[in-house]
Amino acid sequence: MRETYPGTKTNPGNYFEDFHLGQEIRHATPRTVTEADAILYLGLTGGRFALASASTFAARMGYDEAPIDDFLTFHIVFGKTVPDVSLNAVANLGYAEGRFGVPVFPGDTLSATSRVIGLKENSNRQTGVVYVRSTGVNQRGETVVDYVRWVMVRKRDADAPAGGTQVPDTAPSVGVADLHLPPPLPAGAYDWDLAGSPFAWEDYQPGEKIDHVDGITIEESDHMTATRLYQNTARVHFNQHSEGQGRFGRRLIYGGHIISLARALSFNGLANAQRVVAINGGRHVAPCFGGDTIYAWTRVEESLALPGRTDYGALRLRTFGIKNHPATGFPERAENGKDYDPAVVLDLDYTVLVPRRK
């Protein structure tokens, strides 16, 4: 039962003191995903990966039709959680243990639940960090994505007691055995020309750095449309009247949209990374605003063989989103070696599948 303002029927969202360890939240508004959603997402992000773009290409890879882009699935599930988890958030802080399950196709209906797995009140007693594990399922109850995230949430009353204190341990990465793998890739079926790159899994080496070259300037209209597409209702993205009086004086770009832009940019250098299968960790390092231009670069962290599979290999990647600065030189850390370079806005550790050369 959602709490409402006294004497009203509206939902103010949960504040930090409203959460308690073990709390189970069933999120409202299931969403049937359509081809129109997929097309709009491509238009807003510029994604060019062939699997999500063409059913003919997907059929050659063993799918019945083109699946919905993995990060669109993530954003739709994430959007379900916002009214209950992060409507009163100061910032979304990080991700861990993200696993993509069965692919989503047009016509599938997604719903979401979350469980509170950690709480930690901040020393100022004005805010606290809430850790949740959120799970998205389709109409058959099959998991499409499952992940941990933590978010800083305002308190309604600074003197209110916290609903517990516990910081969960999370794994540094998702193991190969826990990855959900696609159907076998038919021998000789993969079209490297149509995919846009000749580079197979074997061509990438740990430590290799890839400058994705291109940049995308974020327009306010693009961001607003994208975030509404995800049904993300966080006030910091939409309400200039309130945000104009806040810390930045402007609406913030949804950090997940930066993830999608970085992923779209990564096509230039990683065009054959057709499926994202895990989010090992991630941080939104700095805010973005309308008018900022995003660049990206990626470092290959690990090259992982998949037991019993010779059609695909996995790459654990770390992609950095860079604001208003080309990725030339691969900016990551400041001169002190500890803090992030001022241009870095995203640090995302994730795992993709890439066809092997047979």
Task: Write the pLDDT tens digit of every residue in 70-112.
Answer: 999 999 999 999 999 998 888 889 999 999 999 999 999 999 9
15 pLDDT more than 70: yes
7 pLDDT more than 70: no
pTM of the model: 0.95
Instruction: Give the start-end residues of each E strand in 246-292.
Output: 275-284
Task: Write the pLDDT tens digit of every residue in 43-75.
Answer: 999 999 999 999 999 999 999 999 999 999 999
DSSP 8-state secondary structure symbol assigned to residue 180? P
User: Where residue 2 falls among pLDDT bands split at 50, 70, 90?
Assistant: low
255-266 burial code (b ≥16 CB/10 A, e <16): bbbbbbbbbbbb
244 compared with 205, residue with greater pLDDT: 205
Other residues' Cβ atoms within 10 Å of the Cβ of residue 34: 13
Write the CB contacts of 207 (distance below 8 Å, at least 6 apart in sequence): 299, 300
1 pLDDT more than 70: no
6 pLDDT more than 70: no
163 pLDDT more than 70: yes
- CB of 298 closer than 8 Å to CB of 312: no
Give me the domains of the chain, ranges plus CATH numbers.
1-33+68-157 (3.10.129.10), 199-358 (3.10.129.10)
* Per-residue three-class SS string for 10-22: CCCCCCHHHCCCC
